[in-house]
Amino acid sequence: MSRIGKLPVAIPEKVQVNLDGTSISVEGPKGKLEKEFCKDVKIEMGDEGIKISPVNDSRFARAMYGTARSIINNMVNGVVNGYSKDLEINGVGFQANLQGKNLSLKLGYSHDISHPVPDGINITITDGGTKLKVEGADKQVVGEVAASIKQYYPVEPYKGKGVRIAGEHVRRKEGKTVA
């Protein structure tokens, strides 16, 4: 049995939760999130909060109810506090600009890269376009946007140029030596 799945999800006073069978919608100060879960997970409202339990004793149901509890907890935390990822751009002439709902990246290619910003995501650019902050209520979407921006030019190990998530360590390599 999942030790995390047994714990109820506490609902703060600012959050409204609507439960309809296996679909749940959570609304708070930072936004509104909706998610539908599989039929093997039983979700019910209680006095302590939202309780999740497996419908039957199958291996899949026991595996999914801890995951469902974690996702619901992330939804509640997201609409109250929000999630963010910091990105750093290193390289001569590398920078980012916001143009409406598109993020324009100059990463040393012959053209600028235009990345669409999804709804519910806010991107702030500082330090002359070299530091980005991706913010939103949905933890999965914030991580996905940060990862897709990083994929345009991952950090290379020789000079350290590229896009990295703040705090990420990239092992540097020594260049060629002339005999």
Choose the CATH number for 3-80 among 3.40.50.300, 3.40.50.720, 3.40.228.10, 3.90.930.12. Answer: 3.90.930.12
Residue 4: predicted pLDDT? 81
Residue 111: predicted pLDDT? 95
Contact between 112 and 105 (Cβ < 8 Å): yes
User: What averages of pLDDT result for each successive group of 10 residues across the chain (179 residues)?
Assistant: 81 92 92 93 90 91 90 95 96 93 94 95 93 96 96 94 93 86
- Domain 83-165 indexed as CATH 3.90.930.12: yes
Where are any strands of DSSP class E within the chain? 16-20, 23-28, 31-36, 41-45, 50-54, 83-90, 95-99, 102-106, 113-116, 121-126, 131-136, 162-165
Give domain limits for the chain: 3-80, 83-165
| Confidence (pTM) | 0.89
